[in-house]
Amino acid sequence: MKRSILFSVLVTLGCLLPPMLVFAIDQEAENLYNRHCAACHGIKGDGEGSAAYLLSPKPRNFTLGVYKFRSTPTGEPPTDQDLLRTLKQGIPGTPMPAWDRLSEKDLVAIVEYVKSFSDIFEDEDSMEPPITISDPPPLTPGSVKAGHKVYQEMECDKCHGPGGKGDGSTASSLKDDEERPIRPYDFTRGPGLMKGGASAQAIYRTFMTGLDGTPMPSFIDELEEKQRWQLVHYIQSLSSMGQAQALPKGTPTLRAIKVSADPSLDLSDPVWTKAPVAMVPLRPLWARNNWVDSIKVQIVVGPKTAAFRFEWRDVRKDETTIRPQDFRDAVAIQYVPDAISADYVGIPFIGMGDKKNAVTIWHWKADWEADVTGGFSDVVRKYGKVMDQMVIDLTNEKAYLPGRGADNPLSINKRKSSVEVLKAKGFGTLTSLPTTAQTVEGRGVWHDGVWTVVMHQVLDSAVGPSLSKGQSLPFAVAAWDGAAGDRNGQKSVSQWMELVIE
Amino acid sequence: MKKIQWIIPLTISLFIFGVGSLEAAKYKVIKGGVKNGGMVSGSIILNPPPSAVKMLKVDKDTEICGGDRPSEELVVSEGGGVKNAVISIEGIKSGKKWGFPKKFVYDQKKCRFVPHLMLVKAKTKGTVLNSDNVGHNFHTVSKGIFSINKKIKANAKMVVKKNKIKRPGVVRVKCDLHSWMKGWWVVAETPYTVLSDENGNFSITDIPPGTYKLKVWQEKLGKTEQDIVIKAGETTKMDVELSL
């Protein structure tokens, strides 16, 4: 009798164990999601995260169960592979970063957690399988010409325009499912910005399954197989000359080399010819036509000092903020001081840290650079003749004393550095460090549409980071284009990268 | 052996009960129909009636779509009767047979959805037609019910398989090529869901006696609800007055 009771109890416990295990795995996925995804996609997965107001396109509302990039027919939920692909690659030209540095196990767990926000994934019996995509035939002038005919027959020109520029007759009236204005893709921008992917198969998949949630429909019943590939070839021909070529996929690892001679602030220091160059892709928080889409980064560590070098394209030099309509060019690095590893489990949210982990930011500003090299610039410089009635004489040192006494960084009229050191525990908490801790120096030169900037720091100062050999530091970069009005949360950002000291 | 005989059936029945409770929310048809059911009938009135009808700008493919036309978002008769309001009785867990069409047909004629508002049961199969000489993209917006976007070329059709309309709720229908086109599918929770006619009149029959909530939804006027008491063999008169 006792054995039978024991048997029944064990069987009951055995039945309870799998649900308990699932619960345990969910907790880890939930933690990862809340840490890295919720600020945009919302704790409830409804796209109403605290940072959502800074973003365009808006983060996906998972509770609606509607997904853009799928290999399944329109109206069907995406496959796990579809979600993993979007998660790993990110979406170019949008704030959605690439999460390729997360482990496969974590990626799968996050996909399951994201799916749990909508019950469309539950009716597995009625789900339709992904469409078949065969090998693409070779592109020829004939297939491109035929593709142009298909483009017109299918009325693609009504939205995408006769030349594929996204300027069709209906383009200005288009709204997405949430009634927000949305523009059709301008194919002439280039293949690098096709959100669903730019390969022949990806283009095929996009118009065959449609982009659910947007006005882009599925053409699955409209075309014969031959016509589909002709259309793909025409689209490819429209975009081939576009400037936005595909950026390197995935999140780069930054390698800092150790050198025997301390690097200087000099932009032409020979050490930069030896240091490896990382091409870091940047994403705009608010999508637009021209943003800083990539930046070259190099890092060198000497015995006593470390230097970071940046190079990025910017058509116009913006080095003043005096008038209300002036915004400056800038570049910044962000790292987690005291980080043990660059593993995603331990690092804070990319948007300037979170309550559990602070980040340190070094922010180089073009206008502070102009202050250092050309003398401090205050309102009198821009509005001199208008300033007759000014009560405070800004040429008198005394005008700055109260501000300087309160450690206001804008009251430093003898600016020593073009770099400001700040700390943050989440966006909205950005704080400048006291003057004694402002030990990072900078040098920046704009020439012929390119900014080159070096940030220079003495190691073992109160301000980190400690860059010891073999260390792996979570590291990110951001850039601002003054001509586009970039400032604060309007900027281009990288994903968390691993900075490895070799 | 006798002592464990209650543990195993208990565990099994607890398991079945757990699974079974998931199905408790779904509507059940009473075999043999509703005995001594009651009825509700009445009108949906808009007081005061609207002064002017909103016009929709028709500015694409005008040779086929025609010119500007009155919007169907609020159709009110001379007597103030509101057409196409959705009236439903909330809180009936089991009752009469559905009696809804086994197949639906939804059309696009002269760049207009026909009917403007369609009442349908979940999981019904059907066909979406394009009776126009111009292509439309059939685009539905919903939360987990039926969210699809498919190009249907001129004089073609799209088949909607059984089980694709997943659950009760409201689906908004549009065409992005012709942005004035607007339609609705209301997927009913129970067969006690009807539409008001062009005079605003409606009636719902075979209601098991009891106290329920009468819910009214109109696409422009929004939703309202009222308590309603249904007595066996009697007709409850219920006029609902809406306002802009």
Whether residue A18 is contained in a domain is answered as no
Structure-derived torsion over alpha carbons of residues A96, A77, A171, A59, reported in degrees to the nearest 10:
-30
Q: Is the pLDDT of residue B193 over 70?
A: yes
Residues of chain A with C-beta less than 8 angstroms from the C-beta of B146: 75
Say yes or no: B57 contacts chain A, CB-CB below 8 A.
Answer: no
User: Residue A78: what pLDDT?
Assistant: 97
State whether A176 and A46 are in the same domain.
no
Whether residue A448 is contained in a domain is answered as yes
State whether A82 and A38 are in the same domain.
yes
Per-residue tens of pLDDT for chain A, all 502 residues: 677 677 767 766 766 666 666 555 588 899 999 999 999 999 999 999 999 999 999 999 999 999 999 999 999 999 999 999 999 999 999 999 999 999 999 999 999 999 999 999 987 777 899 999 999 999 999 999 999 999 999 999 999 999 999 999 999 999 999 999 999 999 999 888 899 999 999 999 999 999 999 999 999 999 999 999 999 999 999 998 887 777 777 899 999 999 999 999 999 999 999 999 999 999 999 999 889 999 999 999 999 999 999 999 999 999 999 889 999 999 999 999 877 666 666 789 999 999 888 999 999 999 999 999 988 887 777 777 676 666 667 778 888 899 888 888 778 888 889 999 999 999 999 999 988 889 999 999 999 999 999 999 998 776 778 787 777 889 999 999 999 999 999 999 999 999 998 8
Identify the sign of the CA torsion B210, B215, B216, B221: positive
Residues A21, B134: Cα–Cα separation, whole Å: 55
Walk me through the domains of chain B, giving residue ranges and CATH numbers: 26-97+191-244 (2.60.40.10), 98-188 (2.60.40.420)
Point out the domain boundary residue: A208, A239, A270.
A239
Residues of chain B with C-beta less than 8 angstroms from the C-beta of A75: 140, 146-150, 164
β B182-188/B117-121 pair status = parallel
**Using CB atoms, which residue from A7, A120, A173 is nearest to B144?**
A120
Separation in Å, CA of A125 to nearest CA in chain B: 9
Whether residue A346 is contained in a domain is answered as yes
Closest CA to A196 of A332, A344, A89, A291: A89
Kindly identify which residue of chain A lies nearest to residue B177, measuring between CA atoms.
A170
State whether A445 and A389 are in the same domain.
no
Residues of chain A with C-beta less than 8 angstroms from the C-beta of B15: 15
Distances (CA, A) of A258 to A23, A147, A269, A333, A501: 46, 54, 15, 19, 7
- Mean pLDDT computed over B212-219: 96
Q: Which of B4-18, B54-68, B139-153 has the lowest mean pLDDT?
A: B4-18
B11/A222 Cβ within 8 A:
no
**Using CB atoms, which residue from B4, B60, B156 is nearest to A5?**
B4
Q: Quote the mean pLDDT of chain A.
A: 90
Residues B100, B88: Cα–Cα separation, whole Å: 14
Sort A280 into a burial class: Cβ within 10 Å, 0-12 / 13-18 / 19+. Answer: buried
Residues of chain B with C-beta less than 8 angstroms from the C-beta of A174: 176, 179
| Best A170, A179, A214 residue to mutate vs chain B (most B CBs within 10 Å) | A170
Tens of pLDDT, residues B228-243:
999 999 999 999 999 8
Q: How much is the CA Rg of chain B, to the nearest whole Å?
A: 22
| Best B141, B159, B165 residue to mutate vs chain A (most A CBs within 10 Å) | B141
Separation in Å, CA of A187 to nearest CA in chain B: 19
Kindly identify which residue of chain B lies nearest to residue A12, measuring between CA atoms.
B11
Q: How many CB pairs under 8 A join A and B?
A: 99
Q: Quote the mean pLDDT of chain B.
A: 91
State whether A263 and A347 are in the same domain.
yes
| Best A157, A173, A180, A228 residue to mutate vs chain B (most B CBs within 10 Å) | A173
State whether A217 and A314 are in the same domain.
no
Tens of pLDDT, residues B36-45:
999 999 999 9
User: Residue B23: what pLDDT?
Assistant: 47
Strands (E), A448-491: 450-458, 472-480
Separation in Å, CA of A189 to nearest CA in chain B: 23
State whether A101 and A214 are in the same domain.
no
The whole-angstrom distance between residue A375's C-alpha and the CA centroid of its chain comes to 35
Closest CA to A433 of A360, A372, A347, A355: A360
Residues of chain A with C-beta less than 8 angstroms from the C-beta of B177: 155, 158-159, 170
Tokens (6 digits) for B106: 């939804």
- Mean pLDDT computed over B123-148: 97
- DSSP conformational letter for A295: E
Closest CA to A133 of A65, A67, A82, A195: A82
Q: How many other C-beta atoms lie within 10 A of the C-beta of residue B18? A: 9
Separation in Å, CA of B76 to nearest CA in chain A: 27
Point out the domain boundary residue: A239, A271, A300.
A239
Residues B27, A35: Cα–Cα separation, whole Å: 41
State whether A311 and A169 are in the same domain.
no
Closest CA to A496 of A281, A331, A302: A281
A126/B176 Cβ within 8 A:
no
User: Residue A389: what pLDDT?
Assistant: 61
Whether residue A287 is contained in a domain is answered as yes
Q: Is the peptide bond before A434 cis (omega within 30 degrees of 0)?
A: no
A181, HSE (Cβ side, Cα atoms, 13 Å): 5
| Best A127, A152, A154, A221 residue to mutate vs chain B (most B CBs within 10 Å) | A221
Whether residue A9 is contained in a domain is answered as no
The CATH number linked to A63 is 1.10.760.10
The CATH number linked to A339 is 2.60.40.1190
User: Residue B243: what pLDDT?
Assistant: 86
Whether residue A247 is contained in a domain is answered as no
Separation in Å, CA of B221 to nearest CA in chain A: 19
**Using CB atoms, which residue from B146, B151, B163 is nearest to A217?**
B151
User: Residue B21: what pLDDT?
Assistant: 45
State whether A404 and A456 are in the same domain.
no
Residues of chain B with C-beta less than 8 angstroms from the C-beta of A120: 144, 166
Point out the domain boundary residue: A181, A205, A239.
A239
Q: Is the pLDDT of residue B164 over 70?
A: yes
Residues A322 and A384 sit within 8 Å (Cβ to Cβ): no
User: Residue A302: what pLDDT?
Assistant: 92
**Using CB atoms, which residue from B147, B153, B163 is nearest to A222?**
B153
| Best A2, A6, A8 residue to mutate vs chain B (most B CBs within 10 Å) | A8
A170/B148 Cβ within 8 A:
no
Residues B83 and B76 sit within 8 Å (Cβ to Cβ): yes
A74/B149 Cβ within 8 A:
yes
B60/A169 Cβ within 8 A:
yes
A182, HSE (Cβ side, Cα atoms, 13 Å): 17
Residues of chain A with C-beta less than 8 angstroms from the C-beta of B163: 123, 125-126
Residues of chain B with C-beta less than 8 angstroms from the C-beta of A11: 11
Distances (CA, A) of A180 to A174, A183, A215, B71, B151: 8, 10, 11, 21, 21
Q: Is the pLDDT of residue B19 over 50?
A: no
A65/B143 Cβ within 8 A:
yes
Q: Which of A384-393, B36-45, B67-76, B127-136 has the lowest mean pLDDT?
A: A384-393
Residue B32: enclosing H or E segment and its boundaries? none
Closest CA to A59 of A68, A69, A49: A49
State whether A165 and A303 are in the same domain.
no
Angle at CA of residue B240, ends B234 and B241, nearest 5°: 155
Angle at CA of residue A91, ends A157 and A216, nearest 5°: 30
Separation in Å, CA of B15 to nearest CA in chain A: 10
> Residues of B numbered 96-115 whose beta carbons fall under 8 angstroms of chain A's beta carbons: which are they?
none
B147/A212 Cβ within 8 A:
yes
Whether residue A14 is contained in a domain is answered as no
Separation in Å, CA of A480 to nearest CA in chain B: 36
State whether A189 and A295 are in the same domain.
no
The parent domain of residue A92 ranges over 25-126
**Using CB atoms, which residue from B1, B148, B177 is nearest to A4?**
B1
Encoded amino acid at A48, one letter: E
Residues A333, A309: Cα–Cα separation, whole Å: 11
- Using a CB–CB cut-off of 8 Å, the residues of A that contact B are 1, 4-5, 7-9, 11-12, 15, 63-66, 74-75, 118-120, 123, 125-126, 154-155, 158-159, 169-170, 173-175, 177, 210-222
Whether residue A7 is contained in a domain is answered as no
Separation in Å, CA of A120 to nearest CA in chain B: 6
State whether A176 and A38 are in the same domain.
no
Separation in Å, CA of A17 to nearest CA in chain B: 14
Q: How confident is the model at residue B2 (pLDDT cuts 50, 70, 90)?
A: low
User: Residue A410: what pLDDT?
Assistant: 78
**Using CB atoms, which residue from B141, B164, B177 is nearest to A170?**
B177
> Residues of B numbered 148-207 whose beta carbons fall under 8 angstroms of chain A's beta carbons: which are they?
148-153, 156, 158, 161, 163-164, 166, 176-177, 179
Closest CA to B27 of B124, B125, B97, B126: B97
Structural domains of chain A, count:
4
User: Residue B144: what pLDDT?
Assistant: 92
Say yes or no: B2 contacts chain A, CB-CB below 8 A.
Answer: no
State whether A224 and A366 are in the same domain.
no
